[in-house]
């Protein structure tokens, strides 16, 4: 199933309470998440507030796939706020948590994507250009589930020559297939579906199987490396 198509949906006349309550990893009841949501959502309709939160998560926290902590503590939504950076999975969790804190139903979606523009160091560590369990968020607005992907901050897209991933709260926002120069960028190859909480055990097990060198403490090529520096060097090289 293409990730651009809707996942399993509740009846338009019903609301799934599980998409509004805090969970261990979508910790919408954490004080930092509540404060962030209150400060950044503003006033207006649920769509207006969801849009404000989307851009606050997308651009307010740097995308950094070099510093992935697969522990429960490292994967919690609130940890993105504490660290000031995240990656697709944790930034999607933060958007979901912030929206739940504002009373906007939210859930998590995952897909395997083929990234044709990752850094050389990233490809060395992963031994593949396949990113499994790429995370995005689904928000229920005006009776419909809409996808939003707050992963790449605007500075990163500008430096890497990518099209910014904007969102209008009406149409799905998923990775662009091509960059600004028409080069292949992202290709969705498998959809894992949607979840009320992050399926961390499954993600960890698959990462250990697919990326044996992309693990902390194993001499990974990412240890001590600087993602922003690599992006800058390869974007101008």
Task: Say if 10 falls within a structural domain.
Answer: no
**Beta-carbon-side half-sphere exposure of residue 181 (alpha carbons within 13 Å):** 8
Model confidence over 146-170: pLDDT tens digits? 999 999 999 988 887 888 889 999 9
Give me the number of domains the chain comprises.
1
Q: What is the pLDDT of residue 42?
A: 95
Task: Say if 3 falls within a structural domain.
Answer: no
Model confidence over 70-110: pLDDT tens digits? 999 999 999 999 999 999 999 999 999 999 999 999 999 99
Task: Say if 1 falls within a structural domain.
Answer: no
Q: What is the pLDDT of residue 80?
A: 98
Task: Say if 6 falls within a structural domain.
Answer: no
Q: What is the pLDDT of residue 11?
A: 35
Q: Would you say the C-alpha torsion 99, 101, 102, 107 has a positive or negative sign?
A: positive
Helix or strand holding residue 233 (H, E)? helix 227-236
Look up residue 216 and give its two tokens: 């902390």
Task: Say if 216 falls within a structural domain.
Answer: yes
Look up residue 109 and give its two tokens: 């979606």
pLDDT at 185 over 80: no
CA-based max dimension of the chain: 54
Contact 61, 111 (CB under 8 A): no
Dihedral angle, C-alpha 153, 208, 204, 137, nearest 10 °: 30
Q: What is the mean pLDDT of the segment spanning 171-182?
A: 78
* Pairwise CA distance, residues 71 & 74, whole Å: 5
- 113: CATH: 3.10.620
pLDDT at 193 over 90: yes
Q: What is the pLDDT of residue 1?
A: 36
Model confidence over 5-59: pLDDT tens digits? 333 333 333 344 899 999 999 999 999 999 999 999 999 999 999 999 999 999 9
For residue 64, give the DSSP letter: -
Phi, psi of 212, rounded to the nearest 5 degrees: -60, -20
Q: What is the pLDDT of residue 214?
A: 74
Q: What is the pLDDT of residue 153?
A: 93
pTM of the model: 0.89
Task: Say if 5 falls within a structural domain.
Answer: no
Q: Would you say the C-alpha torsion 1, 214, 75, 56 has a positive or negative sign?
A: negative
Closest CA to 56 of 33, 23, 30, 73: 33
By mean pLDDT, which of 15-19, 79-83, 200-204, 212-216 is the weakest?
212-216
Q: What is the pLDDT of residue 74?
A: 96
Q: Which residues contact 135 (CB under 8 A, 6 or more apart)?
A: 88, 89, 90, 91, 92, 93, 108, 109, 110, 151, 198
Q: What is the pLDDT of residue 223?
A: 76
Indicate the pLDDT class of residue 229, thresholds 50, 70 and 90.
confident
Task: Say if 236 falls within a structural domain.
Answer: no
Angle at 176 between CA 205 and CA 220, to 5 degrees: 35
Range of the domain at 118: 19-229
Q: What is the pLDDT of residue 228?
A: 84
Q: What is the mean pLDDT of the segment spanning 110-122?
A: 83
Residue 194 three-state SS:
strand
Task: Say if 7 falls within a structural domain.
Answer: no
């Amino acid at each position: 199933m293409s990730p651009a198509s809707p996942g399993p949906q509740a009846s338009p006349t019903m609301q799934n309470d599980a998409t509004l309550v805090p969970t261990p990893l979508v910790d919408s009841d954490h004080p930092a998440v509540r404060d962030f949501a209150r400060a950044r959502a503003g006033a207006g309709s649920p769509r207006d507030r969801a849009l404000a939160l989307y851009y606050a998560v997308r651009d307010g926290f740097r995308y950094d796939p070099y510093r992935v902590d697969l522990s429960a503590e490292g994967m919690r939504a609130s940890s993105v706020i504490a660290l000031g950076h995240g990656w697709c999975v944790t930034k999607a969790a933060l958007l979901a948590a912030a929206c739940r804190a504002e009373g906007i139903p939210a859930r998590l979606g995952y897909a395997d994507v083929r990234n044709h523009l990752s850094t050389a160091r990233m490809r060395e560590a992963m031994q593949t250009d396949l990113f499994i369990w790429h995370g995005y968020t689904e928000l229920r607005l005006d009776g419909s589930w809409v996808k939003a992907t707050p992963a790449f901050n605007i500075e990163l897209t500008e430096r890497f020559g990518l099209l910014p991933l904007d969102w209008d709260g009406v149409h799905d926002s998923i990775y662009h297939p091509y960059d600004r120069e028409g080069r292949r960028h992202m290709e969705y190859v498998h959809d894992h579906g949607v979840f009320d909480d992050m399926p961390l055990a499954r993600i960890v097990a698959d990462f250990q199987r697919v990326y044996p060198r992309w693990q902390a403490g194993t001499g990974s090529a990412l240890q001590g490396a600087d993602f922003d520096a690599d992006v800058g060097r390869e974007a101008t090289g």
